[in-house]
Structure 1
Amino acid sequence: MDFPVTFHIFGKTILAHPVFETLGIFIGMRFYFYLKRKSKEKVSFNTSAAVLIGATAGALFGSKLIGNLENPYKLFEHFDFKTFWTNNTIVGGLAFGLIGVELAKKVVGHKESTGDLIVFPLMLAMIIGRIGCFLTGVHEETYGLPTDFIFGMHLGDSYLRHPVALYEIAFLVVLWIVLKIIQRKGKYPSGFVFQLFMLSYFTFRLLLDFIKPRLELIGNLGTIQLVCIGVIIYYIFKIRKTKTVISH
């Protein structure tokens, strides 16, 4: 396979990453609306609209903010709007999407969790998007460090590299199975599956980024890892609080 994989659409050559990213968002949203129609938990239109707007606005802002803060020196010394707009990271999108949802729920006065329904559509979108990351190779910053590990692959340069996009796909597939088993037991309150997803994914990303190129800001931690630590601490307390409620 030659990297990057490209597609010819309407006379233009387009990298696989934006194609699969768009496809992932579309299929993920369709899956979400399908699950929403089947769900026994009915949420008012105002609440649904507020949550969707909050999640979208927060994710859009956060993905670009954290994506650009991966290299803050480059951002502030040579600011370029086109570069700023094209830099994204799912870690920032998830973290700030969560903030957007919580703020939106406060505005409409909704106190119940709304996260469980989005977990599997979100994971599906991420899996599809990561296929695009893998097919783009080293031509976007979604590749791993050079390695002599058994899974090392040529991704478009002269080095064998960790195929971190494939690692993430494998992790998400396993996590999907585990969360489905937990969900089917049905003994946990609404929102618990989403909490487990966030804690698991951000823990995985904290570790995964040690084998990805990064600018070390504090110790040997990059921006994405610092965000991951903040989210992990938040969800450890959330899950402990949930378990306390269950035990009582």
Structure 2
Amino acid sequence: MDFPVTFQIFGKTVLAHPVFETLGIFLGMRFYYYGKRKSAEKLSFNTSAAVIIGATAGALFGSKLIGNLENPFALFENFSLKEIWSNNTIVGGLAFGLIGVELAKKIVGHKESTGDLIVFPLIFAIIIGRIGCFLTGVYEETYGIPTDSVFGMHLGDKYWRHPVALYEIVFLIILWIFLKILAKKRKYPSGFLFQIFMLSYFTFRFFLDFIKPRVEIIGSLGTIQLVCICIIIYYIYKIKNREPLFRSY
């Protein structure tokens, strides 16, 4: 396979990453609305609208903020609005999307968790997006460091590299299966599946970033890893202080 994979759209050459990213968002949203219609949990129009607006605004802001802070030195050395807009990361999107939802719920006075319905659509959307990351190779900053391990691949330059996008896809498929089994075998408090997803994903991303190129901000940790630590601590506290954790059928 030759990297990067590109598509001809309206006479222009477009990298696979934005194509699959857009497709993932679209299909993930359709998946969410499908699940919402079938769910016994019904939210008022005001609550649904507030949650969607809060999640979208928070995710958009956070993905670009953390994406640009991954390399703050380059940001200030070569300031460019185009470059700022093009830098994104799912870690920032998830972290600040969470903040946006919590703020929106406070505004409309909704106290119950609303996260469980979005878990599987979110995993589905990330998997599709990561296919685009893999197909783009080293031409966007979603690749791994050089390696001589059996998993190494040529991603568009002279090095064998960790295909971190494939690692993430495999992890998300395993997490999907685990959460499906958990949902079928137990009754759980509202929001518990989302908490397990967030804790699992951010823990995975913390370790995954050790085999990705990164600018070290504190010690050997990059910006994304510092955000991961904050989210991991938050969800460990949330899960630890929620009783009862499970209720049997």
2:66 matched residue in structure 1: 66
Indicate yes or no: 2:99 matched with 1:99: yes
1:115-148: CA deviations, max 9, x gaps? 0000000000000000000000000000000001
Structure 1: state its 5+ residue gaps.
Answer: none
Structure 1 residue 154 and structure 2 residue 148: aligned?
Answer: no
CA change 1:246–1:173 in 2 (3 A) is closer
CA–CA distance in structure 2, aligned partners of residues 201 and 174 of structure 1: 11
Pairing 1:202–2:202 present: yes
Kindly indicate whether residue 13 of structure 2 is the aligned counterpart of residue 19 of structure 1: no
* Deviation larger for 177-186 or 99-108: 177-186
Paired position in structure 1 for 2:224: 224
Where 2:213 maps in the other structure, the secondary structure is coil
Asked if the contact 2:189–2:246 (Cα under 8 Å) also holds between the matched residues in 1, the reply is: no
Report the 3-state secondary structure (helix = DSSP H, G, I; strand = E; otherwise coil) of the residue aligned with 2:241. helix
Q: Which amino acid in 1 is paired with 2:205?
A: R
Q: Distance in 1 between matches of 2:5 and 2:222?
A: 28
Q: Name the aligned partner's letter for residue 122 of structure 1.
A: L
- The superposition leaves residues 141-187 of structure 1 with CA deviations (integer Å, 9 ceiling, x where unpaired) of 00000001101000000000000000000000000000011111232
| CA distance in 2: counterparts of 1:18 and 1:132, whole angstroms | 7
Please give the alpha-carbon distance, in whole angstroms, between the structure 2 residues aligned to 1:148 and 1:25: 34
1:245 equivalent in alignment to 2:244: yes
- Alpha carbon RMSD of aligned pairs, Å? 1.0
Distance 1:80 1:46 in 2: 38
Give the partner amino acid of 1:233.
I
**Residues in 2 aligned to 1:200 and 1:84: alpha-carbon distance in whole angstroms:** 29
Distance 1:182 1:247, change over 3 A: closer
Residues 45-88 of structure 1: per-residue CA shift (max 9 Å, x gap) = 00000000000000000000000000111112321100000000
1:1-248 equivalences in 2 (<5 Å) = 1-242=1-242, 244-246=243-245
Bigger drift between 219-228 and 73-82 goes to 73-82
